[in-house]
Amino acid sequence: MHSRKVASDIQERIKRLIIDGRLPSGAPLPTEAELMELLGVSRNSVREALKALQAMGIVEIRHGFGTYVGAMSMAPMIEGLTFRTVAGHYRGEDSLLQLLELREALETGLLTRLVGRVPDADLAALDALVERMAAEAERGPVRAETDRAFHAALYRGLDNQLLSEVLEAFWDAFHRVRTDLVDGTPDPQVTCEQHREILAAVRAGDTLRAEAAIRDHFGNIRTRLRSAARPAPD
């Protein structure tokens, strides 16, 4: 009776090993054989538990080398979020739009607290990114990486690792789904100008202007999304 759920206990116990041992990311975990003995379960159960923990980014498994404490990044969340959005999209929901709305709300909320507090180094980096995007826009579509880097650099000054990763996760999931399922890419020139305006507003310390700028930016993406909607391509 006391051992009602033998299975998921193993996951918890492995988590405990990490927590109680104050193990940092990258620290080696016991081998499968050691875990078998340590936890008193079969190898198979150990592996299933590790597989689940791996899916959550809590452990990292390297074939022929060993098992390690994972980076605990938001990477697994991207997987789940992407799948969820794709599945929802195919079922005719506006899941991609919802994801965009989530990004917009978050970035808007961050921007107001960011204005006037961006380190000079980041401003310089943002300048460079806007210029790079301008150059790319001349010659056709903008590299996705450039857009991602802009959004990432913008909020770097908040010095919040979790925040950066969550933002990036949302960006990534959105980008993946959009490129896979829709072909409504916004006009590169317009996007570039909007980035420039956001940066200018932030540098000027004008909260309202910055908020308007970022809403414009997302509004642009949203419009393109709506017009290019083709929920169930076969």
Partner DNA sequence: AAGAGTCAGCTGCTCTAACCAACTGAGCTA
Partner DNA sequence: TAGCTCAGTTGGTTAGAGCAGCTGACTCTT
Q: How far apart are CA 214 and CA 128, in angstroms?
A: 19
- Which of 31, 179, 189, 223 touches DNA (CB under 7 A)? 31
Q: Does residue 27 belong to the site contacting DNA (CB under 7 A)?
A: no
Q: Does residue 79 belong to the site contacting its own copies (CB under 8 A)?
A: yes
Q: Does residue 220 belong to the site contacting DNA (CB under 7 A)?
A: no
- Which of 1, 3, 4, 24 touches its own copies (CB under 8 A)? 24
Residue 15: C-alpha distances to residues 12, 29, 53, 116 (Å): 5, 11, 9, 41
Least Å from the CB of residue 224 to DNA: 40
Which residues inside 51-80 make contact with DNA, applying CB under 7 A?
61-67
The smaller minimum CB distance to its own copies, of residues 150 and 155, is found at 155
The smaller minimum CB distance to its own copies, of residues 103 and 142, is found at 103
3-state DSSP of 138-187? HCCCCCHHHHHHHHHHHCHHHCCHHHHHHHHHHHHHHHHHHHHHCCCCCC
| Angle, CA 156 vertex, CA 168 and CA 206 arms, to 5° | 110
Q: Which residues bind DNA (CB under 7 A)?
A: 4-7, 29, 31-34, 40-45, 47-48, 50, 61-67
